[in-house]
């Protein structure tokens, strides 16, 4: 993939966040403050505007722009968390104008580490990481098994969706949903859900 391909995918992500705005907000409403869909749609709309003319730049610059825009345009925790994820991916892709599946997996690894550092969170706390971590693990396995990039992404999407299901079974110990603790059981995490949508857009673009 080149810079243009990636800018197109970011545009698709923005459309998807707009489309899922109400649903993500309902999910957040059930366990926290009901703004996740609004945050993601607003953040990615700003991201789309800021990235559409970066076709001549390297992929690192595009990811850094996405990250900084999400941090500044979105209040709450998801903006800075996803923003950190994209900024970390931007460091991996600095000065690169092409991206292959190995680069993508390096970006995802850096993104996961960024979220864990920024959120002081780990797997199993009912956050976006419950989809991000299994998705990365399964994609790395699929890559090691010699599967095609498309099959690697397919394995990631499957694991991310299973991660969303897993979040229904546990209580939140990080973020606003942790205020209601055990009462968050039975509800799926909004951030794990939005991450799954973003990964689905990458898969569909492949
Ligand atoms: P806020 O919680 O500030 O209202 P959002 O509603 O936009 O922000 O985002 C909530 C989502 O952010 C949660 O569903 C969860 O996935 C994620 N999240 C919150 N806190 C953390 C954290 N410390 N680490 C990782 N993810 C987190
Ligand atoms: Mg919220």
Please work out whether the CB of residue 48 comes within 6 Å of at least one atom of ligand 1: no
Q: Which residue in this structure is represented by tokens 């780990």?
A: 122
CA angle 40, 81, 32 (to 5 degrees): 60
**Ligand 1 in contact with 101 (CB < 6 A)?**
no
What's the pLDDT score for residue 75? 79
With a threshold of 0.85, does the pTM exceed it? yes
Taking the centre of ligand 2 as the mean of its atom positions, its distance from the CA of residue 28, in whole angstroms, is 6
Per-residue pLDDT of the chain (206 residues; tens, 9 = 90+): 999 999 999 999 999 999 999 999 999 999 999 999 999 999 999 999 999 999 999 999 999 999 999 999 997 899 999 999 999 999 999 999 999 999 999 999 999 999 999 999 999 999 999 999 999 999 999 999 999 999 999 999 999 999 999 999 999 999 999 999 999 999 999 999 999 999 999 999 99
The full DSSP string for 1-53 is -BHHHHHHHHHHHHHHHHHTHHHHHHHHHHHS-S-HHHHHHHHHHHHHHHHTT
Backbone angles phi, psi at 174, to 5 degrees: -135, 155
For the CA of 192, the closest atom of ligand 1 is 16
Q: How far is the CA of 88 from the centre of ligand 1 (A)?
A: 18
User: In the prediction, which pLDDT does 14 show?
Assistant: 98
Q: Which residues of 106-119 are buried (b: 16+ CB within 10 A; e: fewer)?
A: ebbbbbbebbbebb
Q: Rounded to whole angstroms, how far apart are CA atoms 119 and 98?
A: 30
pLDDT for the residue numbered 67:
98
Instruction: Give the C-alpha separation, 111 to 116, whole Å.
Output: 9
């Amino acid at each position: 993939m080149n810079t243009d391909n990636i800018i197109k995918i970011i545009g698709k992500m923005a459309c998807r966040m707009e489309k899922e705005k109400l649903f993500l907000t309902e999910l957040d409403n059930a366990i926290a403050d009901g703004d996740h869909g609004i945050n993601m749609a607003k953040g990615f709309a700003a991201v789309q505007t800021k990235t559409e003319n970066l076709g001549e730049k390297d992929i690192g610059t595009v990811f850094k722009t996405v990250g900084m825009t999400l941090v500044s345009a979105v209040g709450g925790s998801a903006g800075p968390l996803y923003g950190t994820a994209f900024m970390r991916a931007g460091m991996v892709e600095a000065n690169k104008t092409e991206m292959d599946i190995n680069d993508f997996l390096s970006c995802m690894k850096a993104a996961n580490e960024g979220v864990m550092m920024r959120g002081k969170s780990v797997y199993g706390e009912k956050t976006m990481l419950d989809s991000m971590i299994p998705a990365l693990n399964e994609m790395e396995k699929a890559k090691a098994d010699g599967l095609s990039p498309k099959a690697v992404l397919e394995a990631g999407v499957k694991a991310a969706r299973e991660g969303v299901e897993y979040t229904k079974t546990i209580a939140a110990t990080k973020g606003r949903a942790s205020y209601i603790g055990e009462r968050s059981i039975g509800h799926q995490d909004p951030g794990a859900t939005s991450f799954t949508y973003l990964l689905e857009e990458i898969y569909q673009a492949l």
